[in-house]
Structure 1
Amino acid sequence: MRFENKSIIVTGAGSGIGRAAALQFASEGGSVICADKTEGADQTARMIADAGGTAKAIRIDAGNEDDVIKTVALACAEFGGLDVMFANAGISGGMANIFDTDVSLITEVLRVNLIGPYLAIKHAAPKIAERAAQNQTGGAIVLTASVAGIRSGAGSPAYSASKAGVINLAKTAAQQLAGSNVRVNAICPGLTETGMTKPTFDYAREAGKIDRVGRLNPLRRGAQPEELAKVALFLASDDASYVNGQAIAVDGGLSSSHPVTKQEYGRTAV
């Protein structure tokens, strides 16, 4: 029960990593604001309530400042303050290359994927710091970045640029919150089965090629949302009380290497 008596916001809580995290936060005693632009937020909140947990749903655009302000205000009104912000909401923006990407598309990707976490920090951090001072405990902000933000090869230019920004935002925010007892970290998921990647996984299953999904990482598989949520919860919990300003890759080992000749157990593949 690491989050007993804790007030938590999860954006992008309507599906995938966000839903898995919201369910796990609640199962460990947290009171959760489930924020999403879709009705999935309501569904996640109902799932938590049906399991005996505490949750409220709100429909928001994570890249809209007024919506973020409303979400933080809701957490404070319903749960007496705020302890954890998991800024997870994001969009893919397709797979177009630099020369075929319309400026309006990259602007929208940056608005949701980078400005969204920026707004989450801007408006959540003061409330988390206030609560931390009152309770003489620490608070946490966790951002969802991506392995695509670490280096090329895991996403489109627009998506990759936005997630690289999230990684640096976590580091910069950790420094600017020095002395507040609010930690800021990011997770960098590899290929994970979420609403964003569902078509890829569905196609692979229908074609009998699910064993090829994630084959480029040493674990030779894609991830499930719950696996990413567990790392987000670790970073949000007191278990990670001395982890700050970090971007943790959760990718089956994909980002551990530059391209090399593939190694197979017991032999070298050509």
Structure 2
Amino acid sequence: MSNLLASKVAIVTGAAGGLGKAITKALLNAGAAVLIIDINATMLKEAKAELSTLGEVHDICADLTQAAATQDTVKAAVDKYGKLDILINNAGVMDTFTPIGDVELDYWDRIISIDLTIAARMSKFAVQEFLRPGRPGPQGGVILNVGSINGLRGGLAGAAYTTAKHALVGLTRSTAAHYATKGIRANIIMPGLMETNIRTAYVNGVHEEGKTLAFSLLGQNPATVNIEKLGKLVAFTCSDDADYLNGAIISTDCGWQAI
């Protein structure tokens, strides 16, 4: 265990599996205390048991699409640890490759809510905590958004997911620009193909034409991203050693976007 994030308190959304759990491992190994959030109670319980061997971890099962839950989550971190230093907006779900002409509007709203609005709400309340007068230590903090190569490309997912990930880039840059002089940093990683459970979102049905387009582009992909290594990058990006990183769009796709 390093001391890169010693005395830091972090929130990770969507932390019960996949990249969220890998990020949590890296944060714990770097010395942070971590509050993990997920809607899947069974997976969250299992993750808590595994992660608790690495450091100080607290779990909350919550549906963050409910507006009050995001504010309650930040409050829970402050109530338990006295402050919040790091927010990892990782919660997300893949869409069904459906283009805009065919997408059901209720489905659109669901994907945007999970993949964008949760991050916006969590960021709002995290920023308020980062700037809270009288908080322990200096004001400021770090927000790390988990984007996707779909925030840079147009044909690898459906309209809803692609739009949400493009918009998450804008949220990141806006946050970085507005709070750069107030000790707050915001960055976004843009992973390519990863071995995570996000693809369970479309096992029960996809838009076949959209899927065909996406899969035709998979042949360009150089390699699958290792989520354990990516978690370590996130931990470093959130550390004081990376205080020069703000508003960064970090391609973590093994060179896919470069092609």
Task: Bin the TM-score by the shorter chain.
Answer: 0.7 to 0.9
Conserved 8 A contact 1:147-1:251 = yes
Q: Which runs of 5 or more residues in structure 1 are unaligned?
A: 201-212, 258-270
Structure with the greater alpha carbon radius of gyration: 1
> What are the Cα deviations for residues 92-142 of structure 1, in whole angstroms up to 9, with x where unaligned?
121122222111111111111111110011001121234897423752000
Tell me the residue number matched to 1:42. Answer: 45
Corresponding residue for residue 151 of structure 1: 153
1:87 matched to 2:60? The reply is no
Over residues 21-53 of structure 1, what are the superposed CA-to-partner deviations in whole Å (9 max), with x where a residue is unaligned?
A: 1111111111110101112222222212133x1
1:127 and 2:126 aligned: no
TM-score w.r.t. length of structure 1: 0.84
Secondary structure of the 2:88 match is: strand
Alignment check: 8 A CA contact 2:176 2:185 kept: yes
How many Å separate the matches in 2 of 1:193 and 1:146? 13
CA distance in 1, matches of 2:147, 2:133: 26
Q: 1:199 and 1:96, CA in 2 relative to 1: closer, same or farther beyond 3 A?
A: closer
In 1, Cα distance between the equivalents of 2:134 and 2:11? 16
Tell whether the 8 Å contact from 1:146 to 1:187 is kept in structure 2 after alignment: yes
User: Which protein, 1 or 2, shows the higher relative CO under an 8 Å CA cutoff with sep ≥ 6?
Assistant: 2
Distance 1:131 1:249 in 2: 35
Contact 2:148-2:189 at 8 Å conserved across structures? yes
Mapped to 1, the partners of 2:134 and 2:6 lie a distance apart of: 15
| Letter aligned with residue 57 of structure 2 | A
SS at match of 1:163: helix
Q: Which residue of 2 aligns with 1:190?
A: 192
Q: 1:54 to 1:256 in 2, by over 3 A?
A: same
- Name the SS for the 1:135 alignment partner: coil
Measured in 1, the distance between the counterparts of 2:165 and 2:46 equals 27
Report the equivalent of 1:223. 225
Query: Number of paired residues?
Result: 243
Structure-1 separation of matches of 2:139 and 2:126: 16
The root-mean-square deviation of aligned C-alpha atoms, in Å, is: 2.2
In structure 2, stretches of 5+ residues that fail to align are: 203-216
Give the match for residue 13 of structure 1. 15
> Taking structure 1 as reference, are residues 226 and 132 closer, same or farther at Cα in structure 2, changes over 3 Å only?
farther
Identity %: 27
Task: Report the secondary structure of 2:220's partner residue.
Answer: coil
C-alpha deviations, 1:132-180, integer Å up to 9, x for none?
A: 9742375200011111011212221110000000001000111222322
Query: Normalized against structure 2, the TM-score is what?
Result: 0.87
Shift of 1:199: 9.4
Question: Within 5 Å, which residues of 2 pair with 1:3-82?
Answer: 3-39=5-41, 40-51=43-54, 53-82=55-84
